[in-house]
Amino acid sequence: MNGIFAPASRAISETNFHFPQLTSVYRGKVRDVYTIGDACLVMIVTDRISAFDVVLPRAIPFKGQVLNQLASRMMHGTIDILPNWIADVPDPNVSIGWKCEPIRVEMVIRGYLSGHAWREYREGKRMLCGLQMPDGLRENDPFPEPMITPTTKASAGHDEDISREEILQSNLVSIDDYDQLEQYTRQLFKRGTEMAAQQGLILVDTKYEFGKKDGRITLMDEIHTPDSSRFFFQDGYTERQKKGEAQKQLSKEFVREWLIANNFQGKEGQVVPEMTDEWISRISERYIELFEKLTGDKFVPRQTATLESDIQAQVDRSLATIGYR
Per-residue pLDDT tens for 217-228? 999 989 998 888
Identify the architecture of domain 101-251 in CATH: 2-Layer Sandwich (3.30)
Percent of the chain with pLDDT over 70: 95
Chain region(s) in the chain for CATH 3.30.200.20: 22-98+299-321
Q: Which residues contact 310 (CB under 8 A, 6 or more apart)?
A: 91
pLDDT of residue 53: 85
Chain region(s) in the chain for CATH 3.30.470.20: 101-251
Start-to-end CA span in the chain (Å): 23
Query: Residue 183 and residue 236: Cα distance in Å, rounded?
Result: 31
- Stretch among 67-76, 135-144, 306-315 having the lowest mean pLDDT: 306-315
With b for 16 or more beta-carbon neighbours within 10 A and e for fewer, the 198-235 pattern comes to eeebbbbbbbbbbbebeeebbbbbbbbbbbbbbbbbee
The answer on pLDDT for 8 being more than 70 is: no
CA 277 to each of CA 58, 63, 104, 155: distance values in angstroms, whole numbers, following the listed order: 10, 15, 37, 31
Q: Which CATH superfamily is domain 22-98+299-321 in?
A: Phosphorylase Kinase; domain 1 (3.30.200.20)
Paired with 209 in beta bridges are 106, 220
pLDDT of residue 210: 98
Q: Which residues contact 73 (CB under 8 A, 6 or more apart)?
A: 295
- Stretch among 11-25, 41-55, 244-258 having the lowest mean pLDDT: 244-258
The answer on pLDDT for 147 being more than 60 is: yes
Q: Which residues contact 130 (CB under 8 A, 6 or more apart)?
A: 163, 164, 165, 166
Query: Residue 74 and residue 27: Cα distance in Å, rounded?
Result: 23
